Every structure is written in structure tokens, then in C-alpha cells.
Amino acid sequence: MFFIKVPLKLKNKYTWEGRQGSEYLCYIQHFPILYPTPTGLTALTIEIIYCKSEGHDFDMSPLFSYRKELNQVSQMLKNLKAFENDSAVRLVILKGNGNIFCAGGDIVSNFLSVTQGHWSYGEKFYEKQLILDYILATYRKPLISLVDGIVMGGGAGLSMHGRFRIVTENTVFAMPETLIGHFPDLGASHFLSRLPGHFGEYLGLTGARLDGAEMLACGLATHFVLSRDLLALENALQAPGSSDTATISEAINNFGHKPAIRDDSAYSRLEVINKCFSKETVEEVLLSLENEVENRTEKWILVAIKSIKSVSPISLKIALRSIREGRTQNLKQCLVREYTICCNCIRATVSNDALEWEPSRLELVSKDMVDRCFTGIDDDDDWQFLQLPDRSSMAEVLKPKL
């Protein structure tokens, strides 16, 4: 989250000089929100900057954050298009800065924008982000994601659509959107639905975390490389040579490992996951998990039950339907559908889960409510379904590596 930098502080008051030389008196309001991290939910204190000028009050923080992050996405799109048309560029490597590849921090600024009534900001940013993910998925040059650290939400959208998805012993993956009243998006309904069995439903509904070995086993990753070898791998990839898929794959395989998954990994219980998460409704999934507890007391089942009972009920039902529909759709169709759902969520067409779970229980979420979230915005003549650029799809079906 990016905040405006102000030069003068006096208790909770700031002054800021506008572009035209006018001075604004800014008041700071602090409030906590819950945000998912690799170890669970963490409370973050968010600053909202309210400004007064010539008798008018307005909120600046979401606007500044929105512009900053929208510019970042726009710059990535610009660079990727330039690289794609540059004959001197053989391949593109995506990597994070430090121990986080990308943890989807955009959700914080969008949350702030929506709660302050600026839903159009969220829609515009989301549109750009989906276009970026589609460009990455259909990229005409080899795209290599080096995921050495946390990858969640928006980070998964950036990395999971590429041809080469390299993880390490430091990688932590999750799609925790239901924890914050959202749903697995940015193409998640496409890549989660193509995982073995109903493992994608398990990840999408519970927000469960995976390590690098589990990602390789289920097919979310294509290669596993030790973190200490990433620099040497980058140097090998940048050496003169062919940019065809086979040559690049061979270079990565020279550094690759085949790690064993943990004994207590949920992925090794795929038979039970398929039994429970293949049920038609979220209520039936939960009941099936509770029945399993009577026969076994494995930790992952207890954690799954606790998660489903604590997250947004309507988000769960949207997530399950979205992943199920994604199983029979291509990536473009998935992104268009996810944009439609998100616009309904941003506008609180059915529910305002940004502040509290509404409805508060699964049985209160009707089929009509869920159907409405999958329907276009009919009370806005300017709204239209997501328009993606015309590109030949190069997205590959995910297959287990081990």
C-alpha cells in the first residue's frame, strides 16, 4: 500500500501543497483491517487522509494509491509489449524483490477505494490487471517466473499463467480471497480447475497454503530449484543460445530438484479431498468434511472446516461455482466471467462483505444471489463486459510434474 508523503506533521494534522500551489489541510484517520499472510490473518492499520480546501472535504489516500498501482500495471503492460516486439529480447524473467514475489497488496487499495465510494477506481484497476494477466498467458516469447517467496492472490495471477513456473524451498502459495470477502480471481478459476481431481476447489474454498514441493506435485509449478541456485540459473538463461522451449527447459532442469512432499501434506490425501470437495454445494462439502472427522482427526481437515466456517459465505459459493465453470472454459472466458463477478462485488450488488459478512450464514445465501453476481451490470449503460486484446492463446494446460 502506498501513502502520500507529507512534509509537515502536527499531531494528526498534515499540510500538503497542491500542484497549483494551493494548500490543503489533511486529517489522518486510522482503522484496522485483517489481511492474509503466510501465517494467518494479520491486523494492519490503514491511514486514510481526509483533506479540506475551500470548504470541500475529500479523501485522498485511495486515489493516490490507485494511481500509483494503476501506473505500475500500465508500465508492466507497456514493457511486456515492447519486449515482445523487440527481436533482441529472447525471453522474459519475472521475479520479486526480496522474500515476496507478490502477495496481492492491490486488494488493500481497492478495499479502501470501494469503502470510500470510489468503485470505478477498483473496476478500472481490475480491468488493467486482467489484461496484464492475459498478455502474460498468451506471451509469444518464453516467460519464466522465479517464485522465491510468498505468492498470493494477484501474485498468482502474474506467475501461474506463464510457460515456466519455478519455485523454491522458500515459496508459499495461497489463494486466500474468501478470507476477505472476495473470490479466487485473476485467472484462478482457470488454473485451479485444472489441478488434479478437486484439489483446486480445496485451495479456493479454504485458502490453504502450499509450499514449493506441493506446488510442483500438483502442477502449479513446472520446476523446483533451490533458492541459492537462482542467480546461477538466471545467468545460464541469459547466456547466448536458442530461446526455444526445449532448450530453456533443459537449462532449468540442470538446476532442478524433485523434492518429496511432507507426510502431512493435504495433497497426499487427494482421495479424501476428491470425496469431500466434489460435492455439489458448499454446505455438502462442509458436511462431508465433518463426517470425515468422525473417522480421522487429521489436522488439515480440522483446519479446512475452521476456515470454511469463518470466511465469507457468499464468497464461498461464488468461488465454488466459478472454479466449476472454469473447468469447461478457456482462460479468456474465465477472465471475462471473473471481471463480471468482481464488478458486482465492488458495487455491492448483492452483498457488502467489505465491512462484515452479509449474509452471515451459508444457508442464507440463495441461488438467486449467486446468480446475480455472474450477471452483467444492467443498471449502468456505460458498463460492458471485459474486452481482452485479440491474441492467439498460448496458455498450456497444467499437468503434475511429479
Catalytic residues: 105, 154, 177, 185
Q: In what order do the strands lie in the sheet with 172-174?
A: 100-102, 150-152, 172-174, 210-211
Residue 364 CA, chain-centre distance (Å), reads 27
Compute the distance between CA of residue 375 and CA of residue 19 in angstroms, rounded to an integer: 41
- Per-residue DSSP letter, 225: B
Q: Can you give the C-alpha Rg of the chain in angstroms?
A: 22
> 3-state secondary structure string, 230-245?
HHHHHHHHHCCCCCCH
Compute the distance between CA of residue 27 and CA of residue 51 in angstroms, rounded to an integer: 6
Q: How many other β-carbons are positioned within 10 Å of the β-carbon of residue 101?
A: 26
Compute the distance between CA of residue 70 and CA of residue 49 in angstroms, rounded to an integer: 19
Residue 362 cell numbers, joined: 451459508
Calculate the CA dihedral of residues 84, 88, 91, 94 and round it to 10 degrees: -80
Q: Which helix (H) or strand (E) holds 150?
A: strand 150-152
Compute the distance between CA of residue 85 and CA of residue 130 in angstroms, rounded to an integer: 21
Spatial CA neighbour of 261 closest among 213, 211, 199: 213
